[in-house]
Every structure is written in C-alpha cells, then in structure tokens.
Structure 1
C-alpha cells in the first residue's frame, strides 16, 4: 500500500510537471501547481482504493491520474480577455 501511495504521488507530480511545462502561461506559481498535483494524486488514490478495496493497483493509479488532472485543470486561467457579444 505504501508503494501504491508513492506511485500515485509520483504520478501526480509528473502530471503537474507536464502541465507546468506546457501551460506555464496559464497557471499560477509552480509550487502551487506541484502541490496540487501531488495532493490530487494522493486523494484520487485514497478514494479509488477505498471504493474498490485492496489489490487494485492499476485502477487506483488511474483514479489518482484522473483526480490529479481534474484538480490541475481547476488552476487554469483564461487565455485572454472575455469578449462580449455584439447583440448583448
């Protein structure tokens, strides 16, 4: 179980690094991005492991990746100014 948690933490950090590398202009500071990815990975692993039970390593890592990506997506800022419609 400790290796599963360690794997989900590494997976969350990897997703955070990838997001910070590709979307650095749309994300806040890097420490916030890395800590969000780490926390999302651990939370996703905990929820999936609690729902499915022991001996489900791959689904737990998949749950960790999904929750980590979802939590990182909440940090994204819009690319530019919001435009108003001419008819509004």
Structure 2
C-alpha cells in the first residue's frame, strides 16, 4: 500500500493480484481500499485471470487475453527461473 500512496511513484504493477484474491490471500475490500489511496496522477496495473466483478467495475481498462501460441506447451520447453517464475 505504501507504493500506491507514494506520490513520487507514478506506476505500480500488482502482477497476478487476481490470483491472490482467488486464493484468499487478500480480500477485494483490501484491494479496493488500497486503490482509494492512489493519487490522481498515478497508475496501478492489476493482472491475473478471473478478476472479481467489483474490480472490473472499478477499472478504467479491462483486457482479456487469449493464448495463441505458447512454447511451454507446444515445444516442451520448461519454465525458466526469472522468466516464468
């Protein structure tokens, strides 16, 4: 939350936060309250599948991606530290 509140930080990326919500590591109320703390001139990017309806409603932009090609599945390439995890 400190990063979101900090007016000197203009972009915060919360990668896979929707998975944290799905696994109940966070509540939607906590996430929405954190977004309420965001300065008007900063941006917060939240990623991950299965965003809750309340988060979709609050968002300015929602994108749904569709897999077209993936080397891990199609070519048998294993996940790499620092890239996939």
Tell which has more relative contact order, 1 or 2 (C-alpha 8 A, sep 6+): 1
More strand by share: 2
State TM-score, norm by structure 1.
0.25
State TM-score, norm by structure 2.
0.26
